[in-house]
A and B are shown apart, each in its own frame.
Chain A
């Protein structure tokens, strides 16, 4: 069966510090991968998605970047965090044969 992992689960970082959030999927190959941010107020904002290794599409230009160095690994990064980067970051995957996304447990980021 497929599983999706995210780490860390929680993170507190100072403004201006770098960021690296990791997402990995097990039990599937060549998934579509997605990064979402959920700020207070619940709305889900799609940040990046990837249909394959090295292929990244950005939905919203901002202080963040994403990379997919391996088929089942998706990384969200920032060189210098802003206060507005605080939020709940969710990674999701979609495989062949179905259209729904499956989400990881999320990372709660607080920038102070």
Chain B
């Protein structure tokens, strides 16, 4: 069975600090997909990134970067020079190719609070 663990329930930082959100997953599939979503106070989940299990290359998008390591089953998300607008709940998710309809399992989320 697939499982996603986000051990950090809440993180509080001051603006301009760097922050890393941890995500650890479990799966028996060799083909799977990892995702990060952002949920601002408005409530809508915003898709940030997808990573395929066969592509361990890290990715950077502006102030966001993602570190995918199969050896430790982790897919961590780093925000550099955090801003108040980054305050949100962030979800990590996993879907297995063997499970029909690509139904992801979501972690319980990490609430990030960025203080001015």
Contact = CB atoms under 8 A, between A and B. Distances in A.
Interface residues of B, number: 21
A100 B35 contact: yes
Interface string B71-84: 00000000000000
Contact of A49 (B42, B101, B109, B111): B101
A105 B43 contact: yes
A88 B45 CA distance: 12
A42 B33 contact: no
Contact of A32 (B46, B47, B101): B101
A41 to B, nearest CB: 8
A101 interface: yes
Contact of A42 (B42, B46, B89, B95): B89
Contacts of A105: 42-44
Contacts of A101: 47, 102, 104
Interface residues of A, number: 25
B35 A57 contact: no
Contacts of A57: 101
Given A43-B108, A43-B109, A99 B102 contact: yes
B106 interface: yes
Nearest to B106: A44
B33 A90 contact: no
B25 interface: no
A46 B108 contact: no
B68 interface: no
Interface in B1-47: 33, 35, 37, 42-47
A98 B101 contact: no
B66 interface: no
Given A51-B101, A98-B50, A103 B45 contact: yes
